[in-house]
Amino acid sequence: MIARLVLALILVFSTLGTARAANEVTITGDNFTIDEANHHATFKGNVVVKTPSVDLWAEQVVIAYGEKGTTDVQSFEATGQVRIKTSEQDASGEKAVYDPATEVLHLTGNVTVTNATSKLTGPELVVNLKTNTSTFTGSKGGRVTGVFSSK
């Protein structure tokens, strides 16, 4: 369940710099700044990231890129009322950080993941796509709660 959400999210992050017609990524916000000296692209204010399979909303999105330019995404960080939605799941938190090199996504700050039959909440969610492991943790000031129902 969580792995599908993250897989879709990974597709968003991995296609940010190499958008093609079938994998087009559209990012809008109130402001956009590119800092070429520090290799950062920042969208601020009512940011919306849209792809064919995932939509993301946040107050700010910072994309760090490498020496090869914006097609060399090093990290993706969304902050401020982050919401990630696919056709099957909806996740929210205060901060989402994805590292393409390690294939690890951290979603922190009152995390909630819901789908048609379940709702999971906790302070932090870490998803490792290399090991196909998703871990909710309550170690940062809260407990993990899961509510499951049959449809």
> What does the pLDDT look like over 25-84, one tens digit per residue?
788 999 999 898 999 999 999 999 998 888 999 999 999 988 887 678 888 899 999 998
Over residues 2-30, the pLDDT tens digits come to 444 444 444 444 444 444 445 677 889 99
The string of pLDDT tens digits covering residues 76-101 is 899 999 998 888 889 999 999 988 88
Q: Which pLDDT score, from 0 to 100, does residue 20 have?
A: 41
pLDDT at 140: 60
pLDDT of residue 143: 84
Q: Compute the distance between CA of residue 88 and CA of residue 136 in angstroms, rounded to an integer.
A: 19
pLDDT at 83: 95
Look at 46 and 137; give whichever has higher pLDDT. Answer: 46
